[in-house]
Structure 1
Amino acid sequence: MHAPVAPPFRFEPHGSPVTADLRAEQLVEPGFGRVFTDHMAVVEYSDARGWHDARVTARAALTVDPACAVLHYAQEIFEGLKAYPQADGGTALFRPDANARRFQSSARRLAMPELPERLFVASLEALVAADRDWMPSSPEGAIYLRPFMIASQAFLGVRPSADYLYMVIASAVGPYWKGGARGVSLWVSHDYTRAGAGGTGAAKCGGNYATSLVAQQEAIRRGHDQVVFLDAAERRWVEELGGMNIFFVHRDGSLQTPPLTGTILPGITRDSLIRLARDEELTVREEPYAIDRWRADAESGALAEAFACGTAAVLTPIGRVAGPDYAFTIGDGETGPVTARLLARLSAIQRGDAPDPHGWRHPL
């Protein structure tokens, strides 16, 4: 057990943590989001007291009032990032300051209090310090951290809550895709959209994901891995997957990704890849890309590769795309050389196997 954690968090150790033998068994093939660590970080907020009572305590079920505001008015936001084992034997977070700022942006959009960046980062440091033994030893292993905040006041009335609960839980994870990265198949939803202008598309809130689930079900029912959404206004412009941003690699070596106009989540992996690609002097355009153009470019060979990206899966090559009356394959349907190179570069920085020119690693 690694304790005590650094202030301002006090440490309340778990009275009966998972045994070392059982933990080792669970870490052999943890999958993604199924194996949880012993502790969680908690900070409370009230209009009267502000942020208070920061602690790392035993992970346990929550008890909430049936009138709890989050259950009725969906004031809820979350983040996702990983603690990575390092080549020197240490542990590091990847760009937690960027997650902290996005968490603040999401809070503003949902009329919630903004958690100070220092407190956000400290909560991650404290939880990883307590549960460092949960780090998998596999090459792609990491500790996935899920910070989230909910409205916790008990009342019925359409207004912002006066009380909030911020928490971080942790999950030992392996590769997102069982069997390793492969060219996934996408279903283009023409019936459902993820977000509209003026909505919550740029915020990381549960409602965005809830509305994507029926389209994701349709994609799976039709034999595809994921759904990709078009814009709400014209049903023409490619926006993002249910939980990942998207990139297109043209035959001339340039990259293109949909612009951040308020309907797309500003992914931290997305931003990192843009900067890494430009480090290699590749042209990266943040421009709209129409579904008809995507199809035409794939069929003509003008489009060489496409990939989705996000914290959980990092980079996922896109092999096949289909809609109600069309289907097309990108390249040979497998991982292309630009996708593979960017994945290798990003992963090497995250895991301390390569220099960190942008100062993204946050050692613990």
Structure 2
Amino acid sequence: MKRIIVAGAGKIGSAVADMLAASGDYAVVLADRSGGQLAAAGVSGAVERRELDVRDGAALDLILAGAYAVLSAAPFHLTIGIAEAAARAGVHYLDLTEDVASTRRVRDLAETANSAFIPQCGLAPGFISIVAHDIASRFDTLDSVRMRVGALPQYPSNALNYNLTWSTDGVINEYCEPCEAIVDGHRVEVPAMEEREEFSLDGVTYEAFNTSGGLGSLCETYLGRVRTLNYRTIRYPGHAAIMKALLNDLGLRHRRDVLKDILENALPATVQDVVVIFVTVSGRRQGRLVQDSYASKIYSRRVGARLYSAIQVTTASAACAVLDMLAAGQLPALGFIRQEDIPLEAFLANRFGAAYAQGEEEALRQRGRLAHS
């Protein structure tokens, strides 16, 4: 039985640990520096819980000794230390970060590592890159690749039209850091929270705007092959204007600890959420300009005896699927592996990746009901 270390006992880390342990194929250790966080994780008795401060390099080396892989679900600013420990221990490394600088360091470590390094294994970055690459591969030449993803409350009840569904640090980071894109064939950085647009899907109006990290490594992969490539986060209309006032007018982008405290004490968490995934690719096929799209909505659901939010389902399932494919020999066991290197068909066929296939089926049923209403 392969031993897996999951670093971080938050909403996503605990879901990853529980899903892996429930498969019966992995011995899972859930590590966190907070005993209270571990106690509140709600994982099954099959998961070993261990207090560990990942900033303690010696303790981290000790827990990784003999492990098959470590999966970082810790805050983004702890990612590099965990990746460096994985390289020292020679164990496989996966993470969920959207932080661009951390991923660059992971890529550097992979060049000399004796194991696989697979960053950004969540929803966005993560699954969204797998989908976009799969669609883009069907074209002779590409014009544009546009990716839109959002984790939203099903029942918004405040002016921000938002509830906390995952890492507050992660949300703030993607709202503040520069965003990569390809514009007119050139790789550029564009400001977060800008280039707002509105669109409708299944009769619901959304807004979308630039956020950092969602493209993963796609800018590098598609540079010179596409005119336009961008990623934007989906929210309900009105959210961006208020967040920009907080970040820019009140200067809270420079006081992230204050902003985090405000959000966590003003916005309730919810498991009644929906993840919206929308990818549109245009280009030429057999000389004709055509467009293909992928749209899916995934809702909170029960997995076994536990109710998971939609963002837990999508993020944890994606990470578990990639790890499971690695363990099954479906992915290279050495070097840096990009999300777009992962075949969509194999991902959806995986027992964990099947959560996304179920989302596709639900979206098709919903559109069928709308068409006949």
TM-score band, normalised by shorter chain:
under 0.3
- When normalised by structure 1's length, the TM-score is 0.26
TM-score, with structure 2 as normaliser: 0.26
The structure with the greater share of residues assigned to helix is 2
Larger Rg: 1
